[in-house]
A and B are shown apart, each in its own frame.
Chain A
């Protein structure tokens, strides 16, 4: 299908919006400042001799520019967003309303603690419920995102090993089914990483884990397991894994990014876990993806609790106070500080609002609905697509590309064609252990009607691919988006990162 060319370059209400610098009209301005009173020039030779190149636009032009850019966004507010491993779910508006209360929004971290008792109580209450929901005795609230929480957990583990004269342990074991940030975190913490293969079910191979523990004997500092893992599967043998890990003198880090699938149903403290971060944007509905910031509170076992980073809220004799200094008072063994101020306070407000609005029964239903929705997709899509692993799954389901074999159509083509269907494509080519993977996480906040519409789109594309002869059509997708298929290779090899003003005699020229 070829679209008729338009003189403007716009396609209906899809505007071809130039960069703001390209809309520069010299002298145009949105503000009319009074002339400066006479002042003495003190800059001398440092005085700027050239224009600094800011674009001149009127207020309506600026408003129109940014409104149009905002309309190019795709977000959970505008449509279904089944990105696997990311949990793109609805952010309740109540959370936002609570976060804007002046008592939470208009305070400053440097205020005397006597004037912010309510805010400290909120941090303490959020911490309380995170501990209750995980069955863990302590939580570090300051990590600023999931991977930062991983780092917090591993730094606690490192501090514990050092305190027990085990600082020579240098290896962290990470299964293939773990999140990609896990090996990165271990490396950042100075550990060498060894991968543990998955078994044919997509789960951690306990025999391989034992072999790796034996091989490195007294060198293993920690094992990091994501549960549920990135194949959307529950790691059933965590308790045995924990026993093996502890017998080797190592600590058990659980990646809690997928806690949203088990909250209210399982306390990870009962599995023998020593540390786990919780992505508040995944489990507790705080904004995700550009709308952040993130927050990654990290729950700790009794063995690690005393090494938690400062600051943390404590109950003092005059109300709440804050332990701010490692090595002093109640923070004797703390490994130090990893984040300015008190963590992502505004995110705590949203997370606690969600917990209180949902209640324990609501949280349990949310994790159940998340798993139910993923299994609904798994069941219906299995009619035409090939699941990578036998169900049931947890909160996400993963398909491989066996159903496309011999069609000439790839996972990438299916993803691009989904854009034409008005859906954000699922995660593709991840997890790496699944060939041509499509990883889908519908989340609990989608209705059956939305899921059915998505299923119809997916089945339609799968049937079309399998019927044959549609290769060229798939390769041409997306056809209805503001831009057609982008050249990802060229974008990666020759990125254009900076706009440069057109030089005299040349048209607009971009620097590489």
Chain B
């Protein structure tokens, strides 16, 4: 069974078994504006929870994408370096950043669910 969770840094993580897919949310892409560069991690890279995992650059700013949980990268989205606009077009689908094998699936469950994230966004937009 898959479950989607969110971080306060506006990453989403979708867990399926031990493999999690990570990207940035619709809100994050709308705040960044047109994305012009994405750097995704290589397979095999060890990630710590909250550690830098990827880089995203828009016409406004360059930002880091943090790993929501600890684990090891199994695949970076090879499409993004050549087509960064994919993140703007489909942030929570084809614009995923990387897949990782999570060290502890319970870490994912502890993140915000959709309802909690929606509430968090509502507070941000006050």
Question: A: which residues have CB within 8 A of B?
Answer: 429-430, 432, 488-489, 492-493
User: Among B34, B60, B85, which residue has its beta carbon within 8 angstroms of that of A429?
Assistant: B60
- Of all chain A residues, the one with the shortest Cβ separation from B60 is A429
B61 x A493 contact (CB < 8 A): no
Contact B37 A492 (CB under 8 A): yes
Task: Return the 6 tightest CB-CB contacts between A and B, nearest first.
Answer: A492-B36, A489-B34, A488-B59, A429-B60, A493-B36, A489-B59
Nearest-CB distance from B4 to chain A (Å)?
A: 26
Using CB atoms, name the residue of chain B closest to A489.
Answer: B34
Asked whether any CB of chain A lies closer than 8 Å to the CB of B84, the reply is: yes
B: residues with CB less than 8 A from A are 34, 36-37, 57, 59-61, 63, 84-85
Measured between beta carbons, the chain A residues less than 8 angstroms from B85 are 493
A416 to B122 CA separation, bound complex (whole angstroms): 30
In whole angstroms, what is the CA distance A429 to B62 when docked?
11
Q: How far is the CB of B63 from chain A (nearest CB, A)?
A: 8
B123 CB to closest chain A CB, in angstroms? 14
What chain B residues lie within 8 Å of A493 (beta carbons)? Answer: 36, 84-85
Query: How far is B84's CA from A122's CA once the two chains are assembled, in angstroms?
Result: 52
**A432–B60 CA distance with the chains assembled, in angstroms:** 10
10 A-B pairs with C-beta separation under 8 A:
A429-B60, A429-B61, A430-B61, A432-B61, A488-B59, A489-B36, A489-B59, A492-B36, A492-B37, A492-B59
Given known contacts A488-B34, A493-B85, what 16 new A-B pairs fall within 8 Å (CB)? A429-B60, A429-B61, A430-B61, A432-B61, A432-B63, A488-B59, A489-B34, A489-B36, A489-B59, A492-B34, A492-B36, A492-B37, A492-B57, A492-B59, A493-B36, A493-B84
Cα of A432 to Cα of B85 in the assembled complex, Å: 22
Q: What B residues does A488 contact at CB under 8 A?
A: 34, 59
A residues near B63, Cβ cutoff 8 Å: 432
**Shortest beta-carbon distance, B25 to chain A, in Å?**
16
Contacts of A430 in B (CB 8 A): 61
Q: How far is the CB of B121 from chain A (nearest CB, A)?
A: 13
* CB of B32 to closest CB in A, whole Å: 10
Closest B residue by C-beta to A495: B36
On chain A, the residues within 8 Å of B59 by CB distance are: 488-489, 492
Q: Which residues on the A side are within 8 Å of B37 (C-beta)? A: 492
Chain A residues, CB < 8 A from B57: 492
Closest to A411 in B: B60
- Which residues of chain B are within 8 angstroms of A432 by Cβ–Cβ distance? 61, 63
Per the bound structure, the CA–CA distance linking A432 and B62 in Å amounts to: 10
Closest chain-A Cβ to B79's Cβ sits at a distance in Å of 14
The answer for the CA separation of A489 and B57 in the assembled complex, in Å, is 11
User: Could you tell me the distance between the alpha carbons of A432 and B63 in the complex, rounded to whole angstroms?
Assistant: 9
The residues of B that contact A489 with a CB separation of less than 8 Å are 34, 36, 59
Q: Which residues of A contact B34 (CB under 8 A)?
A: 488-489, 492
Cα(A403)–Cα(B64), bound, Å? 28
A493 to B88, CA, bound (A): 13
Bound Cα distance from A84 to B16, whole angstroms: 46
Quick one: closest A residue to B85, CB to CB?
Answer: A493
Return the chain A residue nearest B57 by Cβ: A492
Query: Could you tell me the distance in whole angstroms from the C-beta of A19 to the nearest C-beta in chain B?
Result: 25
**Cα(A432)–Cα(B57), bound, Å:** 13
The CB with the most chain B CB atoms within 10 A, among A430, A488, A489, is that of A489
Cβ contacts under 8 Å, B36 to chain A = 489, 492-493
Nearest A residue to B52, CB-CB: A193
Cα of A493 to Cα of B59 in the assembled complex, Å:
10
Chain A CB within 10 Å — which of B57, B59, B61 has the most?
Answer: B59
B61 CB contacts on chain A under 8 angstroms:
429-430, 432
Closest chain-A Cβ to B21's Cβ sits at a distance in Å of 25
What distance in Å separates the Cβ of A32 from its nearest Cβ neighbour in chain B?
48
Q: Bound state CA distance, A457 and B126, in angstroms?
A: 29
